[in-house]
Amino acid sequence: MEALHIASIFLWIAIILLAARAALLLERVGQPPVLGELLVGVALGNLGLIGLNLAEPILKNEIIAFLAELGVVILLFQVGLESNIKEMRGVGVRAFLVACVGVIVPFALGTYVVGPWLLPGLGFNAYLFLGATLTATSVGITARVFQDLGIIHSPEAKIVLGAAVIDDVLGLIILAVVSAIVTAGSVSPLDIGWITAKAIAFLVGAIVLGQMLAPLLGRGLSAIHTGHGMKFTAAIAFCLVMAYLADLIGLAPIIGSFAAGLVLDPVHFRHFKDPQVVQDVRGYAETAPASKKRTLLSILDHHAERHVEDLIEPLGWFLVPLFFVLTGMNVQLEPLFNPQVLGVALAVTAVAFIGKAAAGLVAGPVDKSMVGWGMVPRGEVGLIFAATGQALGIVSDELFSVIVIVVILSTLATPPILTAIARRNHIAETAQAT
């Protein structure tokens, strides 16, 4: 494998960003942009099927992989910024229930039903891993679809986001337990307690400390230096440190950046304003008639302030498409051509869907199918489980292919289905209103 020259990576980034933008044309047929980015990725990643191995160096390139990972960290930071703790607390109990059901049902079905039934003779440990891979929701896809559809503030979105955070903690515990059972034959309750305590301490600590520190940080920084650059750097550094800390205790980095976004309330950054605009506003207000002054100032004032979300946005434009196109590129279509593997995979996928649909049922008085489908995407975490099992010699190549197909189908099916549900609801609402 030939390593890519730095300038070639520049070219690849340009190609991926332009292809992702072209994929936005899907919006015209009512599909969320993220589906276009995924499909462009699938197309680029499977050029090998028609004899073109152009994209292969990109798939193995650690710089592109890093940028993609940074992209999803930034995406969840943005999603966190658009939410706040009070809203999340309001759906806390329901999110917890959704997470628990969404972990227990697929795990039980995978380990005790479809595993032994469809893949007989693999041994209990393999079924354990299959069950474990079906538990973890990959929230990046769903968050992006909700963002694309403009419903990130809906109660359904809050429940899915909250449940995904709890899911990740549960996934961490399950991986530790399953690995311990497979390697040591048993698991110590003390170890489980310790892992759980660390994860909970991180989440609670981040939120409590963050709520205390964020106003101080905002005020302290504005005392040293004003300007958008400072605001940007403070926000992004906080996001990256939290992603690092989450990773340090074994959670996904995106959980850390989401928590960072949650505690960073835009209010704490109110001190920073664009001096040029403020000056223009003042200058004009001097000459305006008194009656109009107030309205004028409030409109201009609103635009004078570039919120931290606006400052982060261009970084998102640069990095987020890389994540979704790369996710698509990692979808290797070849396993789909093996009918036997495909058959098993479709059955396991159905279980993966059913398990999360069941989770939606406990979401309370909201659109249950929206919540259930929002929890469907499986991604990195499932693949990490599968790879861990493969490294331990428990997960066979065939089982690994099955898991990869489940990840593919759950990733590609979710955006159009969520869009259809959202549109149906909108039509229902419109019908009710008239």
* 191, 247, 309, 380: which one binds its own copies (CB under 8 A): 247
* 113, 197, 212, 299: which one binds its own copies (CB under 8 A): 299
The closest of 69, 68, 55, 67 to 1, measured between CA atoms, is 55
Rule CB under 8 A: is residue 315 a binding residue for its own copies? yes
Query: How far apart are the two ends of the chain, measured CA to CA in Å?
Result: 62
Contact 336, 380 (CB under 8 A): no
Nearer to its own copies by C-beta: 228 or 271? 228
Q: Considering only 98-106, 196-204, 228-236, 394-402, which stretch makes contact with its own copies by CB under 8 A?
A: 228-236
Burial class of residue 256 (count of CB atoms within 10 Å of its CB; 0-12, 13-18, 19+): buried
Nearer to its own copies by C-beta: 72 or 371? 72
Q: Considering only 44-52, 89-97, 162-170, 221-229, which stretch makes contact with its own copies by CB under 8 A?
A: 221-229
Nearer to its own copies by C-beta: 99 or 326? 326
Output the 3-class SS for 201-269: HHHHHHHHHHHHHHHHHHHHHHHHCCCHHHHHHHHHHHHHHHHHHHHHCCCCHHHHHHHHHHHCCHHHH
Q: Taking the complex as a whole, how short is the minimal distance between the CB of residue 160 and its own copies, in angstroms?
A: 24
Rule CB under 8 A: is residue 11 a binding residue for its own copies? yes
Rule CB under 8 A: is residue 54 a binding residue for its own copies? no
* 1, 7, 190, 431: which one binds its own copies (CB under 8 A): 7
Contact 168, 103 (CB under 8 A): no
* 34, 119, 182, 243: which one binds its own copies (CB under 8 A): 243
Distance, CA of 83 to CA of 320 (rounded, Å): 19
Rule CB under 8 A: is residue 24 a binding residue for its own copies? yes
Nearer to its own copies by C-beta: 117 or 244? 244
* 87, 313, 380, 398: which one binds its own copies (CB under 8 A): 313
Say whether 300 sits in a helix, a strand or coil: helix
Nearer to its own copies by C-beta: 143 or 376? 143
* 236, 259, 421, 422: which one binds its own copies (CB under 8 A): 236
Residues 256-295 that bind its own copies (CB under 8 A): 277, 280, 284, 287-289, 292, 295
Distance, CA of 248 to CA of 253 (rounded, Å): 9
Nearer to its own copies by C-beta: 205 or 314? 314
Distance, CA of 61 to CA of 69 (rounded, Å): 12
Q: Taking the complex as a whole, how short is the minimal distance between the CB of residue 47 and its own copies, in angstroms?
A: 20
Q: Considering only 68-76, 131-139, 141-149, 190-198, which stretch makes contact with its own copies by CB under 8 A?
A: 68-76
Q: Distance of alpha carbon 91 from its chain centroid, rounded?
A: 19
Distance, CA of 334 to CA of 400 (rounded, Å): 13
Q: What share of the chain is helix, strand, coil (3-state, %, to 5)?
A: 80, 0, 20
Q: Taking the complex as a whole, how short is the minimal distance between the CB of residue 241 and its own copies, in angstroms?
A: 5
Residues 72-91 that bind its own copies (CB under 8 A): 73
Nearer to its own copies by C-beta: 149 or 246? 246
Say whether 366 sits in a helix, a strand or coil: coil
Rule CB under 8 A: is residue 387 a binding residue for its own copies? no
* 303, 423, 424, 426: which one binds its own copies (CB under 8 A): 303
Beta-carbon contacts of 217 under 8 Å, excluding residues fewer than 6 positions away, are 234, 238, 268
Q: Distance of alpha carbon 363 from its chain centroid, rounded?
A: 20
* 59, 63, 104, 392: which one binds its own copies (CB under 8 A): 63
Burial class of residue 142 (count of CB atoms within 10 Å of its CB; 0-12, 13-18, 19+): buried
Tokens representing 386? 């599968």
Nearer to its own copies by C-beta: 107 or 269? 269
Site residues for its own copies per CB under 8 A: 5-11, 13-14, 17-18, 20-21, 24-25, 62-63, 66, 69-70, 73, 224-225, 228-230, 232-234, 236-238, 240-241, 243-244, 246-248, 253, 277, 280, 284, 287-289, 292, 295-296, 299-300, 302-304, 311-315, 317-318
